[in-house]
Structure 1
């Protein structure tokens, strides 16, 4: 496995030109992750969370400030930065194992062994020959995660990957993602609107405000794993995150799941 990476964001700002007027999306964003850390970003709609993730992925290079992965500037997309979208984006004509391998030859013994390892890791043993139409939404998303992890990314970027799932499946996928993280120890950066999801998964939570997007606070989540969603300590941290979101918020612009 590729060693987990430290992600460093320093003085990051981003603007778009809107009919000759600068639209400021992100303002002076700075934070570091520790190698192998699980960090979530939460904030109201329009605070630039997804834009920030695209910049970290190297998909948007038109910005000010620095983005460093293991001390090296992020200046292009690459396999050391895995990206999981809300939609799984599987190839419908390929089986689970072939979707995971994608452009890699399954006949290669090394690739075959790695694909089998990923299938076990995401709990899809027995579904190797299934097609996406035969899978649930949660299973399809696990295939997408396995495909990304097969490339040994230093950091896994997740843009609301469970937002389209029902509550029961979302909870199950959060637990599955934690199992993958604990075993793989890939540095993870998750964008979410879901406060419970952020508290359940994260070592730390970056709370953002909008117009322009900026960091309000970074909250440590000092709870042991596995976490009890109905426990007193969990609920206290959930309330702390909600209060941080509500402080100086604009009700007309802000939406999040509580």
Structure 2
């Protein structure tokens, strides 16, 4: 039986300035189970990245609640790893020191875990390299390893592969699934790429335009590894595209 890990309960968010109030999210309700990869997709401005920041505890000026293992999220913590579109590595630190961040590599436990993560993200031989010596995909691998070092309960990924070329992006998607198979880390993944969402996810959440509301939840009942050219894959891609194009969803296929 699946265990609920993350609960988003009637979350609404409004940005305010001196002239107006701009609603961004409206009464979002979503449960994510332990070990799931859930992608969020929707038009620009529908609140995808804002939702990730709320789940991370970076924005608590909201209506509603976010619960992680039943405890309300009120601030950032090591339980929630965050991967941005840009890797945000420290340019003056090597790969291994970027992964360790504020932890000392002289600590045997830290040293062991960093070495394990370098192997997991397939960066053996680049431990002493600096960010300027890495490709974009390799830099994102370092960022993912850094987030995993502290054993987060949920990994939040905000368009992490959006700046990569198509070949590297595909390679990184495979790498992320390798990490998931190894650790079964729960992931909440924001993307604009329908193929990426279908390739990676157990479920795809389609949001309406601003204010963001859940329009449709599409279960991706395909075994891993998935073939992008397969008919079932393409059918799911088409269903999500129809939802994004504001066509009426097929009630037999979509789960609301």
Q: TM-score range by the shorter chain?
A: over 0.9
Q: 1:38 aligned to 2:22?
A: no
Matches of 1:18 and 1:212, distance apart in 2: 16
Cα deviation for residue 248 of structure 1 reads: 5.7
Q: 1:224 aligned to 2:223?
A: yes
Matches of 1:134 and 1:5, distance apart in 2: 41
Q: What do the CA deviations read for 1:146-171 (whole angstroms, capped 9, x no partner)?
A: 00100110000000000000000000
Cα deviation for residue 5 of structure 1 reads: 6.9
Cα deviation for residue 66 of structure 1 reads: 1.0
Identify which of structures 1 and 2 has the higher relative contact order when contacts are C-alpha pairs closer than 8 Å and 6+ apart: 1
Aligned residue in 1 for 2:115:
116
Aligned residue in 1 for 2:5:
6
Task: Figure out how many residues of one structure are paired with residues of the other and give that number.
Answer: 246
1:132-171 aligned at under 5 Å gives the runs 132-171=131-170
Aligned residue in 2 for 1:253:
none
Task: Give the gaps of 5 or more residues in structure 2.
Answer: 249-256
Task: Give the gaps of 5 or more residues in structure 1.
Answer: 250-258
Cα deviation for residue 192 of structure 1 reads: 0.3
Cα deviation for residue 219 of structure 1 reads: 0.6
Aligned residue in 2 for 1:77:
76
Q: 1:213 aligned to 2:212?
A: yes
The DSSP-based 3-state class of the residue aligned with 1:33 is strand
Matches of 1:226 and 1:34, distance apart in 2: 21
Maintained 8 Å contact 1:208/1:214? yes
Q: 1:106 aligned to 2:105?
A: yes
Q: What do the CA deviations read for 1:175-205 (whole angstroms, capped 9, x no partner)?
A: 0000001111111000000000000000000
Matches of 1:18 and 1:76, distance apart in 2: 23
Maintained 8 Å contact 1:5/1:155? no
1:51-66 aligned at under 5 Å gives the runs 51-66=50-65
Maintained 8 Å contact 2:57/2:76? yes
Matches of 1:7 and 1:245, distance apart in 2: 25
Q: What do the CA deviations read for 1:11-31 (whole angstroms, capped 9, x no partner)?
A: 000011133422111001001
Q: What do the CA deviations read for 1:43-102 (whole angstroms, capped 9, x no partner)?
A: 000100000000000000000011000110000000100000000001111110111011
Matches of 2:50 and 2:247, distance apart in 1: 22
Cα deviation for residue 40 of structure 1 reads: 0.3
Aligned residue in 1 for 2:254:
none
Maintained 8 Å contact 1:5/1:36? no
Scaled by the length of structure 1, the TM-score of the pair is: 0.93
Aligned residue in 2 for 1:194:
193
Q: What do the CA deviations read for 1:84-125 (whole angstroms, capped 9, x no partner)?
A: 000000111111011101111101111110000000110101
The DSSP-based 3-state class of the residue aligned with 1:6 is strand
Maintained 8 Å contact 2:4/2:31? no
Aligned residue in 1 for 2:21:
22
The DSSP-based 3-state class of the residue aligned with 1:219 is strand
After superposition, the Cα gap between the structure-2 partners of 1:248 and 1:25, relative to the gap in structure 1 and judged at 3 Å, is farther
Cα deviation for residue 211 of structure 1 reads: 2.1
Runs of 4+ that moved beyond 6 A? none
